[in-house]
Amino acid sequence: MLKGIVFDLDGTLVDSLGVTFKGFNHALASMKVRPHSPAEIMAHFGTGEDRIFAKLVGLDRAQEAYSLFQVYMNENVNRVPLHNGIGELLENIRNEKVLTSIFTGRSWNTTETILKYHGLLNSFVTVVAHDHVEFPKPSPMGLHLALSRMKLSPEQILFVGDSPMDIIASRAAGSQGVAALWDVLANQKELEQHQPDHWATHPEDVWKIWEKVRTQNSAK
């Protein structure tokens, strides 16, 4: 029986990718490194921003670039809205007392900034960022950590995310993966290659999936 939902953050709960790309290129420009396209930056997603900068500017300059990125995100957090429908979905989940957590590849520093801005920092059982685990997505380590804090087993949750790494992590953990398609950068063709258990084109679809799966389980 389903008892909880774990969400990815970027591109799933918040519309953050545009500002994130600008933050990366702001830092890269300050380091006199050429701008990178969204595709070039996204190719490194799954791990935290500090590790991405290590690949883009070198390990010796990564911390300086990451600090510049953090300042940019802090100053522009008002440009990171919740996706349309997420507020209503989270309210519905709270009203039904469903256990919820976040497992994100973003660093804790900027994750905390975003969640505080939206008043959501204390809305989840736990928030697992990339720097809380040894191995980032697509490793399921962060999902297992969230589950241990929720006191749930993998088959008792849905994991909702917009990237192939989320679907790979959900399958590796033994959970049902929900492919979220509402972000403009969500790539359905790439997600299809990893055969998610469910598809959601709008946040309200997550709740429909939740109720459908629970009904099916109750009928068994």
Q: Judge whether residue 218 has pLDDT over 80.
A: no
pTM of the predicted structure, to 2 decimals: 0.94
pLDDT digits (tens, 9 = 90+) for 114-170: 999 999 999 999 999 999 999 989 999 999 999 999 999 999 999 999 999 999 999
Q: Judge whether residue 220 has pLDDT over 80.
A: no
Q: Which long-range contacts (CB under 8 A, 24 or more apart) does 141-149 make?
A: 142/103, 142/169, 143/6, 143/103, 143/169, 143/170, 143/173, 143/175, 144/173, 145/103, 146/6, 146/101, 146/102, 146/103, 147/6, 147/173, 149/101, 149/125
pLDDT digits (tens, 9 = 90+) for 165-201: 999 999 999 999 999 999 999 999 999 999 999 999 9
User: CATH fold of 17-78, please?
Assistant: DNA polymerase; domain 1 (1.10.150)
Give the closest residue to 149 by CA, choosing from 124, 119, 176: 124
Domain ranges in the chain with CATH number 3.40.50.1000: 4-15+80-219
Statement: 4-15+80-219 belongs to CATH 3.40.50.1000: yes
Domain ranges in the chain with CATH number 1.10.150: 17-78
